Amino acid sequence: MLEELSVRNFALVDSLTLGFENGFSVLTGETGAGKSIIVGSISFLLGAKADAEVIRSGCDEAAVSAVVTVAPQNRDALGWLASRDIAADDGSVIVRRAVKSSGRSSIYIQNVPVTRGDLAEFMALLFDLHGQHTHETLLHKETHRKYLDRFAGLEDEALAFNKVFMELSDKRKALESSLSSERDRDARLEILNYGVDEVTKANPKPGEIKELETEAQRLGDFEKLSLQVNSAAEAFFDGEASLLSLARHTRTGMDNAASIDASLQPLLKRMEDLFYEAEDLAGEFRSYRDSLSYDPQRLEEVEDRLALLHKLKKKYVPSGARENAGAEESLLTWKTEAEAEIEALTGAEENRDKLRGEISALEKSIASRASALSAKRIEGAKKLGRGISSILSRLGMPNAKFEASVTAKMSERASLLCGPWGADDVEFLISANAGEPLKELARIASGGELSRVMLAIKTVLAGEAKGEAASDANAETLIFDEIDTGIGGEVALSVGEYLAQIGKGKQIFCVTHLASIAVRADNHLKVEKRVIAGEGGGRTVTGVSLLKPGERRQEIARMLAGEGGAAALAHADELLAKYGRS
């Protein structure tokens, strides 16, 4: 239940802290006083979408926090907290949500930061909010199946069915894709096999292209290379005045000079090093010159090999890799990938047979699951219909008959048709008056009737349908925003009586304009605007106060007649005496 609510800088609310009791509480006030703001702040705390527009003008941040109590029997909520290592303090949990003018928000449950999705998931286990326009969703047939599954405790089973259905759908698509591409398989295999054979025969080696290009250049320019090498050899070691001869002669002279002047020994050492290095270099250069030979046949082989590798590279290597040094590796990678594709295509029929088997097994599972779901929905629909009809009789519709119709989906060929959530069409039907046939909810003309149907559905889902409670009856607090739309007179008295009755087991909040509902409340809160003096004419703020008996009398009179005259006060006294809670 909601123990305490604190609102700061939210819309017209400056700062507000309210404590709440169990039972049935009403919020009343003049039209435009800000009742919707209070409901909006609670909705904000329940995880509704919100942006910086909710921040009070001139402020940087709006914040709403609450102290909520989790009942010991609410195992889902306690399990949710335990799974996230969040501990309740003697059953109490502090929930905070804030949004800044920048649009950034923060959400905490017991000082543990959570996402908006987490907040909505947790608070849904404690609160059920019925807003002014919630009943519009009741007109959409696709929501009826969700309501029935929730009442019958079939939500998890329906989700499991949906998972299997989606798996079946994916496998059917995979099989269809495989079959549609079968005609292209042979052509693709022929191309891949030919390419793999080409690359295998060529047997490229990493770095081979660069090596071949270097050898081709050497063989192609052999005459020029030979001329330059012979010229260098003559200058280095072949000629009478070659560099090596001069170095040998200089070394001998330095040796003689150092024997006369010992200070030349370091220079002699360096000269000897230079001579030995030149002699070693000359030996290697001589070997290179002697190895030079022109082989026109080798040149032709190199050019042919290069042409083959360039052709394969252009044919099979992606354009972005053709200029890279690792083009041969890319060619080998293509071969590996092509071989894998060949294997996959060769085993396509085997894979199709496997898919067919899996599809057949899933179809049997779907049929079995759909049949089980249908049986449970039909049984749940009977209980839901009885529960809602019973509640409607207490809400001024004694002759109303409500039915949750569950019929099999049928194809154009009159065969059973499964959808993502089963093989059932679920639709809520109602006969509001004796002798009238059952009709779709969308054809109900009275907004008051529709509001009462939604009230009945909300309370039966919360576990208040004469013992035929939903298995997920966790919501400890029910909030109804103007559930009295389109009703009055005796019907309003019935609605007030019913809300007071379910308030014995649940915490109920109801925003209402009707005195006949307000007098039934255990707690009466009044929402009103006031202007705080200040520059520019002051500022408007919304406030909420818990009414004392005398104040409540005045508010009931205002709701009856718009003012607190003697007649209105007398009528208020009469209603409070007859229907008020002691």
Q: What is the average pLDDT across 69-73?
A: 89
Q: Which pTM was predicted?
A: 0.59
Q: SS3 sequence, 363-396?
A: HHHHHHHHHHHHHHHHHHHHHHHHHHHHHHHHCC
pLDDT for residue 385? 93
Lowest-confidence range among 21-30, 81-90, 189-198, 249-258? 249-258
pLDDT for residue 183? 65
Within its chain, how far is the Cα of 558 from the centroid?
49
pLDDT over threshold 70, residue 469? no
Q: Name which residue leads in pLDDT, 403 or 319.
A: 403
Give the percent of the chain with pLDDT over 90.
Answer: 30
pLDDT for residue 173? 87
Q: What is the average pLDDT across 90-96?
A: 93
Element (H, E) at 330: helix 327-346
Q: Name which residue leads in pLDDT, 148 or 328.
A: 148
pLDDT over threshold 60, residue 582? no
Give the percent of the chain with pLDDT over 70.
Answer: 88
Average pLDDT, the chain: 84
126-130, 151-155, 225-229, 304-308: range with highest mean pLDDT: 151-155
pLDDT for residue 470? 40
Q: What is the average pLDDT across 522-534?
A: 83
pLDDT over threshold 80, residue 139? no
pLDDT confidence tier of residue 112, bands split at 50, 70 and 90: very high
pLDDT over threshold 50, residue 471? no
SS3 137: helix
User: Of the candidates 365, 351, 431, which has an alpha carbon nearest to the alpha carbon of residue 166?
Assistant: 365
157-166, 240-249, 435-444, 564-573: range with highest mean pLDDT: 157-166
pLDDT per position as a tens digit, 230-270: 776 666 777 666 777 777 878 888 888 888 888 888 888 88
pLDDT per position as a tens digit, 343-380: 877 777 778 888 899 999 999 999 999 999 999 999 99
Q: State the greatest distance between any 2 C-alpha atoms of the chain, in Å, as a whole number.
A: 144
Q: Name which residue leads in pLDDT, 294 or 18.
A: 18
pLDDT for residue 83? 93
Rounded to an integer, what distance in angstroms lies between the CA atom of residue 541 and that of residue 191? Answer: 78
pLDDT for residue 7? 93
C-beta of residue 515 within 8 angstroms of C-beta of residue 19: no
pLDDT per position as a tens digit, 192-225: 999 999 999 988 888 888 888 887 777 767 767 7
177-181, 486-490, 514-518, 535-539: range with highest mean pLDDT: 514-518
Q: How much of the chain is in helix, strand and coil states, percent to nearest 5?
A: 55, 20, 25
Lowest-confidence range among 28-32, 103-107, 144-148? 28-32
Both tokens of 336, joined, read 């590996």
Q: What is the average pLDDT across 69-83?
A: 90
pLDDT for residue 131? 66
Q: What is the average pLDDT across 114-127?
A: 92
pLDDT over threshold 90, residue 163? yes
pLDDT for residue 62? 94
pLDDT for residue 319? 67
Sequence-ordered list of residues with C-beta below 8 angstroms from that of 575, at least 6 positions apart, any chain? 515, 516, 519, 556, 560
- Report the side by side order of strands in the sheet with 424-431: 401-408, 424-431, 439-440
